[in-house]
Chain A
Amino acid sequence: MKVLVAVKRVIDYNVKARVKADQTGVDLSNVKMAMNPFCEIAVEEAVRLKERGVATEVVVVSIGPKAAQEQIRTALALGADKGVHVETDVEVEALAVAKLLKAVVEKEQPGLIILGKQSIDTDNNQTGQMLAALCGYGQATFASEVTVSGDKVEVTREVDGGLRTVALKLPAIVTTDLRLNEPRYASLPNIMKAKKKPLETVSPADLGVDVTPRLKTLKVVEPAKRSAGIKVASVEELVSKLKNEAKVI
């Protein structure tokens, strides 16, 4: 079985994001970029499926600027076999990403598609769900455990009330949550070997997808600063403030 994993190049989670002075977006110049942490978990799960003999090939796809090849190389170093880079400098929205991925799915015919549940830059949490709808495949989001058996995949999902296990017919879409696994780091020899693995580059036009944004960003601003709290001297003062100033009781 072939497993397709989508990975996204995002601002590194250690970096404190800053808004550009003209409020058009987040300042990405000279900022450290990395693979989205949820995507790392997706890669790890696919590689483990391969190590267990369940998957035969792991294909990793990324959509983004030329530099996104760094994240594909990282995935190859972690154990993926082949990379597909959909190169575009457009800031691609979730629906366009889903359409591009659908085109890749049609071409690669994977038995299982694993994605991160969301990317830490825009936090949309939409791509996996949209891809499932476009492909007509079953979906299991927020996975904390994935077991493939025969033509089925059993996925334990983290939901508000606890854990919910669903069974899906393959091919299917799985999106990863934090506790699915602990991603490995690439060994140095594997980093070197990854340079020799195949990496194919295509454009959105090649895949017949229009990636023109449909949304217009009006303004990006820093979150409002939380002002410092105050200390009250007594319970009476607290109650009085809640009643008269905050007007919550």
Chain B
Amino acid sequence: MHPFNDTHEQIRLTVRRFVEKHVLPYIREWEEAGEFPREIYQLAGDAGILGIGYDEKWGGIGAGDVLMKVAASEELMRSTSGGLVASLGSLDIALPPVAKWASPALKKTVVPAVLRGEKIAALAITEPSGGSDVASLKTRARKEGDHYVVNGSKTFITSGTRADYYTVAVRTGNEGHGGISLLMIERGTPGFTVGRKLQKMGWWCSDTAELFFQDCKVPASHLIGVENAGFIAIMSNFQMERLSLAIMAYMTAQLAYEEALRYVKEREAFGRKIAGFQVIRHKLVDMATRINIARQYTLTVAEKMQTKQNCVTEVSMAKNFVTETADFVTYEAVQIFGGMGYMRESVVERLFRDARILSIGGGTTEIMKEIIARQLGL
């Protein structure tokens, strides 16, 4: 049982071919190098993969079709690299506010170029002093004539070292969530510097950076949406990001499971294939069971999002349940592989490391629980 139609299946086929041709032969090398070629953005743009979910007038495809996005994301994850998917997909957290609320001129400059893969977009919310507590962010944008003057810093920014356009959360008003706005800041704007590339536990081929703003002058026309109404924009943007993270999580688990399934049929111990041992069989059954439930629930949430219903509770539940599943499954996969699972040449080693971020990024498990608690009337 799945909710995908023929078009989704055709798109799935294209994305699968894209991954098989342009990514899989090189991904190990890119992971070790900590970077993948920028050309991949353009190839993905040419194939139309980056445009999913955006209006056709910007070069997009399937606007409002959440399930098209799901099908494509599942296939991109077959690259076995969450880092690649995160960086290639950074537009999906950076661009929606621009496409929805920016001025027509700004939309025209930014959106088509990013969907073509010529420019890279990144979202910048987290600061050195805090991530989960969005309402307390400190980067200040002071209005001076037809400019904002921005001071502050951001960190853990996906695609941060090579992005061209940054959707940046800044404080334009009073303390608290009512004083936050979103600004589009371009690479090269005087006063804006990109710091070092951060070294991470996982997502190695994804570039992650710190950003610094010192008296950085940003045209007032680069305000995205209404001044001081940024918090709602950020929160609504999070829903799709959390769905994407849930998809990444069950696919990470699925890949680890498939690797383990293959391995137990080859590996011998005590004179027989380890698939013959009940302890191993039951592990794989538990992995498969949890993955199935995780995926089915996530697909249900995606279908509900497709009908534009509010599913803050469900998407938060999905993220928590599925990321926990990914932690469990990747842990067991490494365990099944034994010493080999600890070696970098095993895909499960990467999947295990890559899974860890999924219950942190896009809202931690604990923040998800607070959101759910509020929705439950607690």
* Interface residues in chain A, defined as those with a beta carbon under 8 Å from any beta carbon in chain B: 34, 70, 73-74, 77, 185-192, 195
Contacts and interface: CB of A to CB of B under 8 A. Distances in A.
Contacts of A185: 13-14, 17-18, 21, 47
A191 B10 contact: yes
Is chain A's interface secondary structure helix, strand, loop, or mixed overall? helix
Nearest to B61: A188
Interface in B9-54: 9-11, 13-14, 17-18, 21, 46-49, 51-52
A73 B18 contact: no
B6 A188 contact: no
Interface residues of B, number: 18
B111 to A, nearest CB: 16
A199 B335 CA distance: 52
B61 A186 contact: no
Contacts of B49: 188
Contacts of A70: 6, 9-10
B10 A73 contact: yes
Given A74-B13, A192-B61, A187 B7 contact: no
A62 B202 CA distance: 47
B9 A188 contact: no
B282 to A, nearest CB: 24
Contacts of B14: 185-188, 191
A74 B47 CA distance: 15
B133 to A, nearest CB: 38
B13 A187 contact: no
A191 B11 contact: yes
Contacts of B9: 70
B10 A77 contact: yes
Nearest to A12: B13
18 contacts: A70-B9, A77-B10, A186-B10, A186-B14, A187-B47, A188-B11, A188-B14, A188-B48, A188-B61, A189-B48, A189-B51, A189-B61, A190-B48, A191-B14, A191-B48, A192-B7, A192-B61, A195-B7
Interface of B: 6-7, 9-11, 13-14, 17-18, 21, 46-49, 51-52, 61-62
A77 B14 CA distance: 10
Nearest to B48: A188
A195 B10 CA distance: 11
B364 to A, nearest CB: 34
A66 to B, nearest CB: 11
A73 B6 CA distance: 10
Contact of B7 (A34, A189, A191): A191
A189 B61 CA distance: 7
- 9 smallest beta-carbon distances between A and B, as pairs: A188-B48, A185-B17, A185-B14, A187-B48, A191-B10, A188-B61, A189-B48, A187-B47, A186-B14
Nearest to A67: B6
Contacts of B18: 185
B324 to A, nearest CB: 29
A188 B13 contact: no
Given A34-B13, A185-B13, 13 more contacts: A70-B9, A73-B6, A77-B10, A185-B14, A187-B46, A188-B14, A188-B47, A188-B51, A188-B52, A188-B61, A188-B62, A189-B61, A191-B48
B53 to A, nearest CB: 11
Contacts of B62: 188, 192
B67 to A, nearest CB: 14
Contacts of A186: 10, 13-14
A73 B46 CA distance: 20
Nearest to B21: A185
Nearest to B50: A188
A191 B46 CA distance: 13
A74 B13 CA distance: 10
Interface hub of A70, A74, A185, A192 (most chain B Cβ within 10 A):
A185
B135 to A, nearest CB: 38
Contacts of B21: 185
A3 to B, nearest CB: 22
Contacts of A73: 6, 10
Contacts of B13: 34, 74, 185-186
